[in-house]
Amino acid sequence: MKDNLVVVTGGGGFIGGHMVADLRRQGCSRIRCVDIKPLKDWFQSFNDVENVVLDLRIRTNCETAVRDASRVFNFAADMGGMGFIENNKAACMLSVLINTHMLLASLKADVSRYFFSSSACVYAADKQCDVNNPGLREEDAYPAMPEDGYGWEKLFSERMCRHFREDYGLYTRMARFHNVYGPHGSWDGGREKAPAAICRKVIEAKLSGNHQISIWGDGTRTRSFMYITDCLKGTQMIMDSEVVHPINLGSSEMVSVNHLVDIVEGIAGIKLERTYDPSAPKGVMGRNSDNTLIRQLFDWEPSTALTTGMERTYAWIYDQYMARERGRGARAVA
């Protein structure tokens, strides 16, 4: 892999940017990083990487992106937290063009390995009606009843990967990500997910002296959150494995939104008055990752403690917040 060209799509985003950084650390000398955003808006960028701005919804751009590539990590998608995906269903579903055209282009370019980042949003809604969710198993995606918009796109794209493997022999691997979080990602503006949003709200409350926080829903809904380094390790393990079907990649440490706020308050050393917004986007009642299969296959599962990951995330968002208050953004460039 170190001498072959690796393509990372969505490379200006959160997970893709971290993947590029990790590949560089491993000594990978040929990396093409592709994103639709202008380079100045990428969360991380690297001067020794081929950075390309392309709209991958267009097939010819996908062919340009994968030219001469050996491996492809496809993280590109129009997505965000619950507030974004509930209000942008059509935009989320149009991401199906990205994976479809990337598969066609990868087949044409004779790409040796192709990874697709799916999501826990593919799981059937009737399996997520209880806050005490014991964990979603891989087979719980069917009969199909995924998250409207974003979840349907991910489930359809999984099937596309499967049939490109079965019909055309393209090496495809898939993981269902469960709420990935960490530094160098969205933390404001509407696309941020719960961990980052809560960090920002706590920082705002602490610095402003207005010790209040607004929480979407009633705070009882439950989720598990996977730290970015676990996501990177699991993704590369799955890419190099013989596992052809989608597999859970997520922490099994499930917490309520209220407890997530408790954790961030503890990091910040503050206690806030909570108000609840029942009209805000909330998602399913309970979602957790059943890691039985990934433990059986790899003798491993994501294990970074939520408190540890949130401390790192809070510290990075705090620095970003303060940089913005001083009138300048802080973007990682190496």
Catalytic positions, please? 150
Quote the DSSP letter at residue 39.
G
Q: Contact, 266 vs 206, CB < 8 A?
A: no
Beta partners for 286? 222
Q: Strand (E) positions, the chain? A: 6-9, 31-35, 44-45, 50-53, 71-74, 113-119, 172-177, 180-181, 212-216, 222-224, 226-227, 247-249, 254-256, 273-277, 332-333
Helix 228-239 vs helix 14-25: angle between axes, to the nearest 10 degrees?
70
- Give whole-number Cα distances, 124 to 136, 137, 196, in Å: 9, 11, 26
Reference 221, options 287, 274, 277; nearest CA is 287
Q: What is the dihedral of CA 59, 64, 70, 74, to 10 degrees?
A: -50
Number of continuous H segments (helices) and E segments (strands) in the chain: 11, 15
* In the block, residue with structure tokens 């980042």: 117
Three-state SS for 251? Answer: coil
Confirm if 297 and 241 have CB atoms less than 8 A apart. yes
Which residues are bridge partners to 119 per DSSP?
A: 177
Tell me which residue has tokens 């029942």: 278
